Structure 1
Amino acid sequence: MTENPAGVTVVGIGADGWSGLPGTATAALTAADVVFGSDRQLDLLPPEVAGERVPWPSPLLPALPGLLDAHRDRRIAVLASGDPMFHGIGATLCRLAGPVRVIPHPSSVSLAAARLGWPLADVDVLSLVTAPVEELHPLVHPGRRVLVLSRDAETPGRIAHLLTSRGYGDSTLTVLAQLGGAGETTRTGPAASLDLTGVDPLNVVAIECGRGGPARPRTPGLPDDAYDSDGQLTKREVRAVTLALLGPQPGELLWDVGAGSGSIAIEWMRTHRACRAVAVESSAERAARVAANAAALGVPKLEVVVGRAPGALAGLPAPDVVFIGGGVTRDGVVEAAWEALPAGGRLVANAVTLESEAVLAAWYAKLGGELTRVAVNRAAPVGGFTGWRAMMPVTIWSVVKP
C-alpha cells in the first residue's frame, strides 16, 4: 500500500463538468497540487484549478503505484466519472493509497434511472467497461430491466446482437449518451431494429427485456440441451442435486475436476456474480467446449485449465469447494483435493461405475460425510405408448473438512 501523507481526494465529475460540482469538490480541486484524470475530464476544469494536470497513462492500473509514489508529498486530486465507488477508480485508490477522501457525483446509472423513471432497487446493473458482453446473459429474463455501463460506442450494438440471438429482439433498448451534459441524447427502439450508428462512446444502455426465447433460470438444473456436449455431461436432475450439495456462496472458488462439458462450474458461477470457478479437463477438445459453453451461458470468466489431475491441480488458487466429476479412481486425485481445502471447505464427488463407487465408499468410511445414490427415470416412447427409461444411477459423496 502506498501512503500519501499530503492526502488523496477523489472527485466524481459528470458530463456537466465544473458547473455540476458542489463546493466541496471545487475547493478540493482548486487546492490540489496535482490533478489526475482522463484528457476529457481534465479539459472540463477551468483555469482556477492551477495544479499540475496529469493525464492517465495506458494501461492505467500497472502505472498507478508509481504515479502515487512520484507525487507522494503533494496534495493529489483524482477525477473519476460519476460516483468513484460505483464501478470506478475509488476502490482501487483506497486499496493502493490508504485512507482516501471521496466526493461522489451522481453516477450515470442514477442519472439514467432518473430519466427513465425506473426505481433502482428493481433494476439489475452491469458494467461492461472491462467485462465481455456475454456477462449480460444471466440477467436477461422476460420483463426484467437492466442498466448497462458501456465500454464504448460499439457496446450498444453488441448488446442488441446478443439479445436478438437469444430470442429477445423485441426488447426495448434506450441508449442514453452524455448524461447530464449539454450534448445529452436518447434513442429508443427494439433491439432487433434500433439504428445504433453514430452512438456517442459515453453512453448507458437501458434494457426492458421482451418475451424471450428458451428459459435460462439462475437456479441449478438448466436443460441438458443448453450445453454443447459430446455426452460427458452431468445430467440435469443430478446436476441440481450436486449443486445443492456444493452449496455455492458469493465469493467462493470452486475446483471442477474432470469438467466434461463444464456444467457444474458454469451453474456454480451463474448462482451469483461473485462466485468463481476453475474447470480442470484433460481433453483439449472438451476444454474448448467448456469455454464456449461458459461464454454462451454468461460466465465467460470461468478459468479453464487443460491437464490431468492430480498434477494439473498444482499451483491453482486454493479452493473453497471441490467437485470431482471424473478421475476419482486415479491415484492422488481425492487426496490432492482434500489437502487443498481449508477447514470448513466442502468436497463433493460423483461416481457412475462400480470401481469409482467403491472408491467413494472407502473415503466415506474414512472421512464420513454423506453418501447418496440418485436414480432418475425419464418418460420415453415405447412403441405407441410411453414408459420409463432409466438413466445410470449416480452415487454422490459429500463431506466438509473439519
Structure 2
Amino acid sequence: MPAEVDLKRYSKRFANLKSKKETPLTARIQIVGIGDDGLDGLTGQARQLIKNATVLVGPSLLLDKIGNTDSKRIVVGSNLQQLQQAIKELGDSSAVVLASGDPLFYGIARYLTETFGKDRFEVIPHVSSMQLAFARVKESWDDAYLTNLATQPLDRVVDNIRTAELVGLFTTESITPAVVAEALLDRRIDYFTGYVCENLGTPDETVTQGDLQSIRTQSFGSMNVMVLVRRHGAADRPSGSAQRRLFGNPDDLFLQSRPKRGLLTPSEVRCIALAELSLTPTSVVWDVGAGSGSLAIEAAAIANKGKVFAIEMDAEDFALMIENAKMFDVPSLVPIHGQAPEAWKELPDANAIFVGGSGRIVPELVSSAIKRLTSGGRIVVNVSSPDNLVAVQQVLGDAAMQPDVRMINIARGQYQLDRVRFASLNPTFLVLGQK
C-alpha cells in the first residue's frame, strides 16, 4: 500500500508559504538604439517597445526623432549622474532608454549595466554609425583602430593613428574632422585618405573623400564619423617627440617600411642587446641586417668616437636608415648598402657584432662574422625561430665560445574602447657570445 500522506502537515506548510510576502521583481528597462533615420530605421520589436513604454528616457535629439507618443518623457543629456538618478526613480515603470546606434558600442549601455547590474536591462541595438561609415567607404573594420574623441585625448589618438592601417573616429563638436586633420599634418602624418560620413542613414547622408590637406579646410555637420585609410606601402612617420634617449628610444621615433613593419628591433630588446654588446665610446661595431637602423643608430650614439657599420641589402630600408640617421645626428654611423658577408670584406675587425634576421642564412653569417671579431669581442644574435636558435648555439660552440641565451617576452599596454589591454610582441631570442 502506498505510504499515507500527512495532509495536515502539508496543508500547514502550504499555508506558511502563502503567508510569506513575495518581493516583486523590478521591471526590466529596455535600452533601444536609434539611428539618424529615427523610427523608420527600427525593427518592429523596437517600435513596439517604444509604443508600449510608459516612460521614455533620453536626450532631446533622440526623443524628437520618435514623434508624439502618450509616454512620459524624461530628458537627460550627457550628464551621467542625471541619467543615473532618472533610472533610480523609474521604479517598476515600463521604461525605454533611447541611445544612438549600438548602445554597447561607445554608448550608455555599458555604464548602466555596470552601475545597476546586467539583469536590470535588455539591449536592443541599432546599426552603429561606425558600422555604416565603414560600409559606405567599403572597408572591413575587423582590424581598424576605433575610438571616440569624446573620451580619449587627441594626442594619444593621433599617436595611435600614426601606425594604424584603418581608423574610425567618433568626432565631437570641438574636435572636428578638420581639427583631427590639422593635428595629423602637424606631425607629418599625411599618408591617409580621409572620409567624413555625415547624417548616416538619412536622406541628407553625405560622404566626403579627400586627403588631409583638403579636409582640414572644410567644415562638417556635428553628426559625422571620420574614417582614415592608409595609402598602400606608406612608411610610418616618427612621432616627432623632441626627446631623444641615448638608447632604448621608442619604436615610433624611427621611420619604418610597410608592410615590413614589426621587423624593427623593439626598444626593450634593443636595450638588452646593446648592454650585452658591452660598447665603449671607441668601439668598432657591425650591425648585420640593420634594417631601418634603430640598433645601429643607438650603438653609434654610445660609440660616438668609434665607428658603427650598418649593413643592409634592402634598398628601401637602407634609404629609411639614412633618414633616421639624419634625425638622430650620429656621425659615427657608416651605412653600407650591400649583402653580407661580401659587404664587410673591406671593414676593420669589430669589437662588437650584432646580427639580426630570420632566414636560414643567419647561422652562416654568424660563423663568418665570428672570424672578424677581435679578441675579447662580443657578438649578439637576435633570432625568432627555435631552429635558428639551436643552429646559432651550435655555431658559437664550434668556435669555442660559450653561448648564453635570453628568451624575451614583452607585452605592451594599449588603450582601446576606453580599456587597457596587453598586446604581446612576438617572442624573440638573443644568443650571446664572447671571443
TM-score by length of 1: 0.54
Specify which of 136, 139, 150 is matched with residue 171 of structure 2: 150
Does residue 113 of structure 2 align to residue 94 of structure 1?
yes
**Contact 2:162-2:236 within 8 A present in 1 as well:** no
Label 1:176 to 1:148 Cα distance change in 2 as closer, same or farther (>3 A). Answer: same
SS in 2 for 1:173: strand
Amino acid at match of 2:247: K
Tell me what 1:163 maps to.
Answer: 184
**Contact 1:168-1:212 within 8 A present in 2 as well:** no
SS in 2 for 1:43: helix
Counterparts of 1:153 and 1:131 in 2: how far apart (Å)? 13
Does residue 228 of structure 2 align to residue 207 of structure 1?
yes
Tell me what 2:247 maps to.
Answer: 235
Tell me what 2:367 maps to.
Answer: none
- Deviation readout 1:189-246 (Å, 9 max, x if unpaired): 1102225543111110011234355346xxxxxxxx84536xxx68307x89xxxxxx
Shift of 1:153: 6.1
Which runs of 5 or more structure 1 residues have no equivalent in the other structure?
217-224, 241-262, 264-349, 351-372, 391-402
Tell me what 1:69 maps to.
Answer: 88
Label 1:376 to 1:22 Cα distance change in 2 as closer, same or farther (>3 A). Answer: farther
Counterparts of 2:246 and 2:148 in 1: how far apart (Å)? 32
Tell me what 1:51 maps to.
Answer: 71
Shift of 1:179: 0.6
Shift of 1:124: 1.9
**Contact 1:84-1:90 within 8 A present in 2 as well:** yes
**Contact 1:9-1:76 within 8 A present in 2 as well:** yes
Label 1:37 to 1:4 Cα distance change in 2 as closer, same or farther (>3 A). Answer: farther
Between stretches 140-149 and 33-42, larger displacement belongs to: 140-149
SS in 2 for 1:26: helix
Residues 245-260 of structure 1: pairs in structure 2 closer than 5 A: none
Does residue 126 of structure 2 align to residue 105 of structure 1?
yes
Counterparts of 1:80 and 1:57 in 2: how far apart (Å)? 11
Residues 248-287 of structure 1: pairs in structure 2 closer than 5 A: none
Shift of 1:375: 5.8
Q: How many pairs does the alignment contain?
A: 248
Shift of 1:138: 3.8
Shift of 1:36: 1.0
Amino acid at match of 2:190: G
Counterparts of 2:212 and 2:134 in 1: how far apart (Å)? 19
Label 1:78 to 1:235 Cα distance change in 2 as closer, same or farther (>3 A). Answer: same
Residues 342-381 of structure 1: pairs in structure 2 closer than 5 A: 377=279, 378-379=299-300, 380-381=304-305
Specify which of 127, 131, 134 is matched with residue 152 of structure 2: 131
Counterparts of 1:111 and 1:126 in 2: how far apart (Å)? 15
Report the aligned-residue RMSD.
Answer: 3.5
- Deviation readout 1:327-360 (Å, 9 max, x if unpaired): xxxxxxxxxxxxxxxxxxxxxxx9xxxxxxxxxx
Counterparts of 2:278 and 2:106 in 1: how far apart (Å)? 45
**Contact 1:15-1:181 within 8 A present in 2 as well:** yes
**Contact 2:144-2:164 within 8 A present in 1 as well:** no
- Deviation readout 1:102-151 (Å, 9 max, x if unpaired): 00000011101111111121322111122222232343246711111112
When Rg is computed on C-alpha atoms for both structures, the one with the higher figure is 2
Tell me what 1:278 maps to.
Answer: none
Percent identical pairs in the alignment equals 27
Does residue 193 of structure 2 align to residue 172 of structure 1?
yes
Between stretches 79-88 and 146-155, larger displacement belongs to: 146-155
**Contact 1:83-1:105 within 8 A present in 2 as well:** yes
SS in 2 for 1:120: coil
Select the structure with the greater relative contact order (CA < 8 A; seq sep ≥ 6): 1
Amino acid at match of 2:96: A
Label 1:114 to 1:57 Cα distance change in 2 as closer, same or farther (>3 A). Answer: closer
Counterparts of 2:223 and 2:77 in 1: how far apart (Å)? 19
Counterparts of 1:150 and 1:104 in 2: how far apart (Å)? 21
Tell me what 1:26 maps to.
Answer: 47
Specify which of 1, 7, 10 is matched with residue 31 of structure 2: 10
Label 1:139 to 1:154 Cα distance change in 2 as closer, same or farther (>3 A). Answer: closer
SS in 2 for 1:50: coil
**Contact 1:153-1:199 within 8 A present in 2 as well:** no
Between stretches 123-132 and 175-184, larger displacement belongs to: 123-132
Amino acid at match of 2:131: S
Counterparts of 1:104 and 1:196 in 2: how far apart (Å)? 35
Amino acid at match of 2:56: V
Tell me what 2:136 maps to.
Answer: 115
Does residue 99 of structure 2 align to residue 80 of structure 1?
yes
SS in 2 for 1:122: coil
Label 1:128 to 1:70 Cα distance change in 2 as closer, same or farther (>3 A). Answer: same
Label 1:152 to 1:389 Cα distance change in 2 as closer, same or farther (>3 A). Answer: farther
Counterparts of 1:171 and 1:6 in 2: how far apart (Å)? 49
Amino acid at match of 2:71: G
**Contact 1:36-1:79 within 8 A present in 2 as well:** yes
Specify which of 192, 196, 203 is matched with residue 182 of structure 1: 203
Shift of 1:85: 0.5
**Contact 2:166-2:228 within 8 A present in 1 as well:** yes
Amino acid at match of 2:243: D
Label 1:91 to 1:389 Cα distance change in 2 as closer, same or farther (>3 A). Answer: farther
- Deviation readout 1:345-399 (Å, 9 max, x if unpaired): xxxxx9xxxxxxxxxxxxxxxxxxxxxx756532335499779999xxxxxxxxx
SS in 2 for 1:207: strand
Amino acid at match of 1:235: F
Shift of 1:57: 4.0
Counterparts of 2:66 and 2:84 in 1: how far apart (Å)? 25
Shift of 1:96: 2.2
Counterparts of 2:70 and 2:94 in 1: how far apart (Å)? 12
